[in-house]
Structure formats: C-alpha cells, structure tokens
Amino acid sequence: MAVFSTLLTLAPQALTFLFFLLIVAFLAYCLYVKHIHMKYDHIPGPPRDSFLLGQSPTFSRILKNGGNVHEKFLEWAEEYGPVCRINALHYVLVSVSCPEATKVILMSSKYSKDTFSYKRLANLFGQRLLGNGLVTARDHEQWYKQRRIIDPAFSSLYLRGLMGTFNERAEKLMDKLAELADSKTEANMLHLVNCVTLDVITKVAFGVDLDLLRNTSPLPKAIETCLKGMVTHVRDIFFEFNPKNRSYINEVREACRLLRTTGAQWIHERKIAIENGDEVPRDILTQILKTANQEKSMTEEDEQFMLDNLVTFFIAGQETTANQLAFCIMELGRHPDILEKAKKEVDNVIGMKHEISYDDLGKLVYLSQVLKETLRMYPTAPGTSRHIAEDMVIDGIHIPGGFIALFSFYVSGRLERFFKDPLRFDPDRFHPDAPKPYYCYYPFSLGPRSCLGKNFAQMEAKVVMAKLLQRFDFTLVPGQTFDILDAGTLRPKSGVLCTLNHRDYKNK
C-alpha cells in the first residue's frame, strides 16, 4: 500500500518530466529540419506553409481537396523551372524536369530508389504487399538477381506466344460490348477494360481463368483497396496514427493478405504440379519457376521475392494498361478526325479478321502513335524517384547530396518547352519521321529500372484497341467530366461512359 501511495505521488512528476522531454525532442527536431532546409534554400521552389516545420504545400492536403499532385508539380515546374525544391518535414525533394539530369540519373544503376516511398509501398500499414520485388528493391544486386530470373518470361519470343490469349480475352470484351450495343446500354469503359486486363494477367501469368466480364471475384476490389492504401500510406504519414482510420487500415491489410495468400496458393499448386511431372501451362509463372530452379541457391527469402513480384504483376499488369485504354478511348471520342484515321488503318491492316497476329501489330503504326500520345498526356504510372547521396549540379544549380530527386512523367509530357501546344492531343508527334523527344518522354521510366512489362502492356493495348475500332462506333456520353483522378496511378475520373453501335461495313 505504501509503495502504491509513493507511485501516485511520483506520477505527476514523471508525467511532467516526460512532457518536458517531448517538448525538448520536438524542438530539437525542428532545429534539425531547419538545418536541412537551409542547405537547400537557394533552390527555387514554392513558399513553405505556416506549419511549424516549414513544409511546402503538403500532398495529403492537395489530395483531400480532390487535387492531382502531379498537376501541382506541373504548376511548380512552369513557375520555378527545371529544378524545383519541395520541403516535406526533414526530407527535401527536388522535382527534376531537365533532360540531361534525367538521362544521367535514371540511366544509371548507382542511384537507388528512395527509402521513404518504396519502403512504404513494400509494406502497407505493417502488412507486406510488394515487399522487396522488382519495383521496391533498393539494393542493386538484390534487384538484379530477381530481374535475371524474371527476364525470360518477358522475352520477345515468349510474348509472341501470348497473342492467342490477348485475342481470346479481347473477344470476350467484344461480346460484352455487343450486348451493350444491342441493348442500347451505356458502357463504363474503364470498368470493362479493367476486367479484361485483369483477366489477361491472371491467365498469362498464373494460368487462372477468372472471366470477370461474366463472374464475380474479390480480387478486383482487393487490388483497388491496395492501390488506395498505397497512396494514403506514402502521402499522408500521420494517417495511421488517427484512431478514426483504424477500420480502413484493417481493410487495406486484409486486401494485402488476400492478394498474397492467393498468389502463394497459385505458386504452391504450380510447384507441386511441376514436381509431379504434370502438364502445366507455359505461362509466366512456369517460366519464372523453371528459371528459379536453375539457380543453385534458391532460398526461402527468394521465394518471398517471387511472391512479391507476382503480386506486383497482379496489380501493375492490369491497372496501368486498363487506364491507358480508357484514356485512349476518351481522347478518340473527343477527336473524331483522329478516331476516323485510326479506324481506316485498322480496316486496312486487320480487315474482317478476328485473330490479330503479332506481325499485324507492327503494321498498326498510327494506332501506336495514338497509344504513345495517350501515355504522353496520361502516363498511368505517373512518376518515379531516386535518392541522390552526392552533391550534384542540375541546370547550373548546385544541390547538396542527401536529397530525393522526383521525376514526374506527367510533368515532362505536358511542358511547353518540350512539346508545342502540350494540351493538344496530337498523335503525329510520334510519327516515325518526327524528331524523337530527348529524355522528356519516358512513361515506362528509363535505364535498368525501366518497366519490364512495357512490351507486354503495349501489345495487349493494341489488340484490344484494334478489335474495338474494327467492330464498333462509339460516342462519349454528354455531360461527363474529363478530369483525371490521382489515385497513385492516374485514371479517368468519369470512368469514360460511352454509347456503342455496331459498325456499318456496307458503307466502309
């Protein structure tokens, strides 16, 4: 009892001392932040908030107001130039839109991805998602080992063999669109192409037939939840400390677990089938497992990396291609002259064929230009970042080491100094005889860490768009917005609502 009374007597003093320590720690942190910021004050950039720690306008506030973070980066790049400082607590971000610096940094393997962003993508609220896969691995040797295992699954020879799946899944979409055209029902094109691209990646990567245009599955909802969770986790570092957000955080964790347990189950089933000598599909999963088995030192950690990468393909393999397709349909609907030119090319190359060949894709030159111009204006994975440990001079400005270089594909694609009249949708910018953009157009990033699946994605997009243009006339439903939703990836806010009609081949 005496001990308890003594503790009660000391408790106020202990709390006072603890509070004093917290105040001292906070002031020390503020001084540290001030010291960091002073090193970079000579770099042009937006004024800081009135917030005690002197941040630039914060990402979370922009998003809460329904804004596009990359639109803000564009505004700053136009105002402050190719090098723009952004303060975020004790981090200093430098938005870079200088082609020479872009070339030097992104084409080199010595600049790692920044720790802050990619660690938070690896684990969402403490639940592993992308882990240390190709996207998030910061150590070059670790990344290279994984890339060596996965590269054969994306070779040009193997991709040629996927044309059958691309055609088959695109045909299912055409059947669904035919139903909507016959019933005069509006089509939400973003939703429909999302179903198709997820069908494709699960089929060609895992040999699993979801057929989402006909069936329901918890996987699309889980992917959407994880994507939203990624944005929140990276851009609002205080989100998880708010008790009101506990329910949402648990939902994100559960979605992460669903994707990883589903992927782990598919990997396990395939490994058992291979060990038993059963016939297995020649898909990406089989390719990766066969290559991995040739490695002499395949560890349990390596198997986790494999799962990390399959979850990455699961998310990125459908989301980015679906958004590109939706934006492409949106822009073609807004530009009837470009739409008509693309249709004529498809008619000349594809004609009435239902099966599009790999060689046909190379002949769809104008459609390629349309897809490239879509990615210039709407890069669905809109940026990347690198940690720069050493001092660097960019566009004549000396920048002390220790900063994070931001590269926004959205910004570089919309700057007047790189593209004349950048807000005009003009596929002729990518005509074979037009001058090539110099390190200002790189929607799949650049260098050794560029997107492994870029050829896969563009083949898939071409097949879907060619079949759509071959079979249907479409018009955009009036009154919808053409705004961009920044949800980590960029997507059409309206979903791209269209009315469809079968094409009249008699008047072709």
Q: Name the residue among 445, 328, 315, 329 with its Cα closest to residue 377.
A: 328
Q: Beta strands 472-476 and 123-124: pairing type?
A: unpaired
Burial 172-195 (b: 16+ CB within 10 A, else e): bbbebbeebbeeeeebbbbbbbbb
Q: Where are the alpha helices (DSSP H) in 111-155?
A: 115-122, 140-150
> Sheet harboring 497-502: ordered strands across?
187-188, 497-502, 472-476
Backbone angles phi, psi at 86, to 5 degrees: -135, 125
The string of DSSP letters for 420-434 reads: SSTTS--GGGG-TTS
Rounded Cα–Cα distance for residues 359 and 163 (Å): 10
Kindly report the three-state secondary structure assignment for every residue of 288-342: HHHHHHHCCCCCHHHHHHHHHHHHHHHHHHHHHHHHHHHHHHHHHHHCHHHHHHH
Lookup: tokens for 122: 């690896």
CA distance 290 to 266: 15
451 is in an annotated binding site: yes
Residues 6 or more apart whose Cβ sits within 8 Å of residue 508: 347
Q: Give the start-end residues of each E strand in 363-409.
A: 383-388, 392-394, 397-399, 403-408
Q: What are the E-state strand segments in 155-295?
A: 187-188
Whole-Å CA distances, 13 to 10, 18, 24: 5, 9, 16
Residue by residue, DSSP assigns 231-260 as HHHHH-TTGGG-GGGHHHHHHHHHHHHHHH
Annotated binding site: 451
Annotated binding site for heme: 451
